[in-house]
Amino acid sequence: MLSLKLLELLLAIIVPIIGLALAGYNASSVLRIKPGKKELTEINMLIAEGAKTFLMREYKTILPTGIVLTILIWITYYLIFHSGLMAGLAALSFALGAIGSAVAGYLGMYVTTRSAAKTAWMAKNGMGAALSTSFKAGTVMGLSLASIALLIVTVLYKAYSSVLPNPSWAEALAPVAFGASLISLFIRVAGGIYTKAADWGAT
Q: H/E element holding 167? A: none
The pLDDT assigned to 92 comes to: 97
Neighbours of 20 (CB within 10 A): 18
CA quadruple 189, 179, 56, 136: dihedral, nearest 10: -70
User: At residue 134, does pLDDT exceed 50?
Assistant: yes
Q: What is the pTM for the complete model shown?
A: 0.85
Q: Residue 83: left if φ>0, alpha if ψ -120 to 50, beta else—which one?
A: beta
Delimit the domains of the chain by residue range: 16-202
Tell me the average pLDDT of the chain: 87
Mean pLDDT of 135-152: 93
- CB 133, CB 118: distance < 8 Å: yes
Neighbours of 159 (CB within 10 A): 15
- Determine which of 31-45, 64-78, 118-132, 145-159 has the lowest per-residue pLDDT on average: 31-45
Confidence of residue 75 (pLDDT cuts 50, 70, 90): very high
For residue 120, which of 27, 39, 23, 22 has the smallest C-alpha distance? Answer: 39
Q: What is the pLDDT of residues 82-132, one digit of tens each?
A: 999 999 999 999 999 999 999 998 898 889 888 888 888 898 888 899 999
User: At residue 11, does pLDDT exceed 60?
Assistant: yes
Neighbours of 79 (CB within 10 A): 9
Q: What is the pLDDT of residues 18-61, one digit of tens each?
A: 999 999 999 999 999 888 788 778 888 888 888 888 888 888 88
Q: What value, to the nearest 5°, has the Cα angle with vertex 122 and ends 43 and 138?
A: 75
Neighbours of 163 (CB within 10 A): 12
Confidence of residue 1 (pLDDT cuts 50, 70, 90): low
